[in-house]
Amino acid sequence: MAEKFYITTPLYYVNDIPHLGHIFEVIGIDVLARFRRMQGYKVFFMTGTDEHGLKNQKEAERRGVSPQEFVDQMSEMFKSIWQQAEISYDYFIRTTEPRHVKAVIKFFNAVRDNGDIYKGFYEGWYCTPCETFWSESQLTDGNVCPECKRPITRHREEAYFFKLSKYQNWLMEHIKSNADFIKPSFRANEMINSFIKPGLNDLCISRTTVKWGIPVPGDNQHVIYVWFDALINYVSGIGYADDEEQFKEFWPADCHVVGKDILKFHTAIWPAMLKAAGLEPPRQVFGHGFVTIKEEKMSKSKGNIIDPREYFNTYGTDALRYFLLREISYAMDGVFSEEKFKQRYNADLANDLGNLLNRTMAMIRKYNQGRIIRKGDGLSASEQEIIASFGALFQSYETRMPEFEYNVILAQTWDVINLLNKYINDKQPWLLAKDSSRRNELETVLYTVAEGLRSLGSLLYPFMPATAERIWQQLGIEQNIPEVAWSEHRRWGWLPDGTQLREPSPLFPRIE
C-alpha cells in the first residue's frame, strides 16, 4: 500500500487579498506535494482560510455586510487565486464550516476533560473602541492604542486558560529528541532559546469581547480564541470529528509548513494542545523565511504589497512560480524585485530553457522529419557526461526536495540545461547533417537533447507544471507527467524510439 504524506499550509487570514509572500509560501508547499505524488505517495495536501476573529468582524462592519458574507467572498477570492497559481490542494478548509466547528468543540472538550482548561482572569491593556487587548511589547507609542492611537486602559475579564506551562518539559524533550521535528534546524534553536526556555505561560484561549467566533461549549459568553480555533484545522480537515477512518489514515501530519513568524504556535502551542487532547504531535514543522521588497517585509500598512495576479496575467503562472523559488532560498528571507524578475525571465526561461526546446524541435523536424530516433549505440564522452549529470541531478533532487532546497535544485537544473546548450554548440548538428557518413552521430545528438528535455520536463513538473507538460506534449509524449512512475522518470532512455514531435510553440516569449 502506498505510504501516506499529509502536508499543510497555514490558514490565511481573509481580511485582505493574498500577496506575493503568501504565494511564495503556498507554491513552495505545492512543489513538495506534487513531487511526493510523483514518487507514489498517497498525498493529502490541505490549505484554507482562517475566518473568525475581530479583524474580520470589523472589516465586515466597515463594508456594511455580515461577517459571514464577507468571509464567503474573501474565501472564494483565495480559492480563485490558488487556482490561478496551480495549487494542487486536496482539500480547502474554512474555519467557518460546520465540520470544523464540530471538531473545535470536540477538541476543546477533550482538553478540558484532561484537566488542562481552567477559568481565570485575563488582564491587560485594552482599547475600548477597538475592543482589543494589547501586550506591553506592542505598545510602541506609549499608553495609546497602536492601531487607533486613542488612550488605552487596564482591563480585566474572565477567561478560559489552557495549561501550556504543564507541557514545557515534555516539549523541550520532544524537540531535543526529534531532530527532524523543527526544520531548518537553526529555527529549533531559536524556538528553544527565545520561547521555550524563558518559560511557557498558560494561554488565554477565550474572549468575551469578540462575537465572531466559536462559542466555548457550555458558556456562550465566551468565544474561543482564533488561534486555538484555527490550529485545530489540521485535524478537523481530515475528519477528526466526522471521519474516523480518514483521520486514522492521515494523522499525524508529515509536514506543517509555516512562516517563521508563526512558528511558536506550531512548534509549541499546537503540539501541547494535541498532547492534551491525547493525539500525536505532527512529524515536522518547517519554518520558511519572508519575501521582502527592498529589504522590508511586505505588509498592508507599509503599502508595499505586490498582487501576484498582475504577474500571473502578464507573464504566466509558471514564470512567477519559477522566479520566486529560484531567486529566494525557501528557508531564508529574500528580496523580490521586478527588474530581477524580468532579467531571469529572459535569461533563464526565454533563452536557456525556451531556446533549448525551440532549437531541438527545429533540428529534429529538419533532419529527422520530426521523428525521435533512438539508436542506443556509440555514445561518446560528451553523451556519457550528460547522462551522468542527469543521474547526479536526480539524486540531488531526491534528497533536497524534502528539505525545501528549491533554489539549489533549480540552479543545478539550469547547469544541466546549459550543458545541453553547450553540447549542441559543440556538436554542431547542422554540420553533421551535411555529411551522410555521420548520420548515426547526428541521431545520437538529437536523441540526447530530446531525452534531456524529456528529463527536464520530469524534473520541472513540480515547479512549473504547465510548462513541463507543454515540453512533453511538444516532444510528442502521450502520457501526462504525473501518470508516469518516478522510477521511469529518472531512467535515462525512457523516451521511446519513433516518437513523433507535435507542433512547436515558444514556452516563454521574450519580454522587452
Interface positions with ligand MSP (CB under 6 A):
10-13, 21-22, 24-25, 50, 230-231, 233, 258-259, 261-262, 290-291, 297-298
CB of 96 to ligand MSP, least distance (A): 13
How many CA atoms within 13 Å lie on the side-chain side of 421? 15
Whole-number Å distance between alpha carbons of 475 and 487: 20
Q: How far is the CB of 302 from ligand MSP (least distance, A)?
A: 10
Which spans in 279-380 are helix H? 308-315, 317-327, 338-344, 356-368
**Closest separation between CB of residue 92 and ligand MSP, Å?**
14
Angle at 73 between CA 18 and CA 15, to 5 degrees: 45
Strand partners, 255: 7
Of residues 39 and 329, the one with the C-beta less far from ligand MSP: 329
496: cell is 521511446
* Closest residue to ligand MSP, based on beta-carbon distance: 259
Smallest separation, CB 10 to ligand MSP (Å): 4
Q: Calculate ∠ Cα 314-471-453, nearest 5°.
A: 125
Q: Which is nearer to ligand MSP, 32 or 416 (CB)?
A: 32
Q: Report residue 175 as a C-alpha cell.
A: 524537540
Which CB sits closer to ligand MSP, 56 or 467?
56
Q: Which is nearer to ligand MSP, 5 or 13 (CB)?
A: 13
Among 77, 91, 93, residue whose Cα is nearest residue 19: 77
Q: Between 4 and 260, whose beta carbon lies closer to ligand MSP? A: 260
Question: How far is Cα 403 from Cα 365, in angstroms, rounded to an integer?
Answer: 41
Smallest gap from residue 13 Cβ to ligand MSP (A): 4
8-state DSSP, 28? H
Work out how close the CB of 224 gets to ligand MSP at its nearest, in angstroms, rounded to a whole number.
13
CA distances from 144 to 147, 157, 167, 198 (A): 9, 20, 35, 28
The one-letter code for the residue type at 327 is E
Exposure class string for 249-267: b at 16+ Cβ within 10 A, else e? ebbbbbbbbbbbebbbbbb
297 vs 439, which CB is nearer to ligand MSP? 297
CA distance 314 to 312: 6
Question: Closest separation between CB of residue 286 and ligand MSP, Å?
Answer: 11
User: Minimum CB separation from ligand MSP for residue 461, in Å?
Assistant: 24
Could you give the CA distance from residue 506 to residue 409 in angstroms, rounded to a whole number? 24
Min dist. Cβ of residue 490 to ligand MSP (A): 31
- The nearer residue to ligand MSP, 171 or 298, going by C-beta atoms, is 298
Minimum CB separation of residue 496 from ligand MSP in Å reads: 43
Nearer to ligand MSP, 147 or 497 (CB): 147
Whole-angstrom Cα distance, residue 175 to residue 188? Answer: 7
- Which residue, 25 or 443, is less far from ligand MSP as judged by CB? 25
Cβ burial 428-456 (10 Å sphere, 16+ → b, else e): ebeebbeeeeeeebbbbbbbbbbbbbbbb
- Which one, 171 or 262, has the nearer CB to ligand MSP? 262
